[in-house]
């Protein structure tokens, strides 16, 4: 049961981050608003593309590790990648986003990713 839960959570999180990456690539301005810091209309869209590519890459890498590597490799990946939503929390707070988005989305995501890492290490 623990194995199914650990791998299921890892797959779900990696699919979610890949989806977020695709969303930033396909509809960047609405994705930025959902992130918590809306993009300026006259801003450089390259940064939104960079975020999309970053998130898509993390999601695909996580799925590849989950499929082809051991649980401890996935655990280490999840532990390291938890830095991204922790950083996103600070970015939203520093750039005028709401505390609700910073903590309710980004910090909560970091906590779930850390739980996923712990579950993978427990296998």
What does the domain layout of the chain look like in residue ranges? 2-122
The model carries a pTM of: 0.91
Give the list of residues 6+ apart from residue 50 with CB closer than 8 angstroms, or none: none
What is the 8-class DSSP label of residue 35?
H
Alpha carbon distances (Å) from 47 to 1, 19, 60, 83, 107: 41, 17, 20, 19, 22
* Per-residue confidence in pLDDT tens, the chain, 123 aa: 889 999 999 999 999 999 999 999 999 999 999 999 888 888 778 889 999 999 999 999 999 999 999 999 999 999 999 999 999 999 999 999 999 999 999 999 999 999 999 999 999
């Amino acid at each position: 049961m623990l194995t199914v839960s650990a791998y299921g959570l890892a797959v779900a999180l990696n699919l979610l981050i890949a989806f977020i990456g695709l969303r930033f690539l396909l509809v960047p301005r609405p994705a930025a608003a959902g992130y918590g810091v809306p993009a300026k209309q006259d801003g450089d869209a390259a940064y939104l593309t960079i975020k999309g590519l970053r998130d898509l890459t993390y999601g695909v890498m996580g799925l590849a590790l989950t499929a082809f590597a051991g649980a401890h490799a996935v655990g280490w990946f999840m532990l390291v990648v938890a830095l991204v939503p922790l950083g996103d929390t600070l970015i939203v707070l520093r750039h005028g986003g709401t505390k609700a988005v910073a903590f309710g989305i980004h910090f909560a995501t970091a906590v779930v990713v850390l739980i996923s890492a712990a579950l993978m290490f427990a296998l």
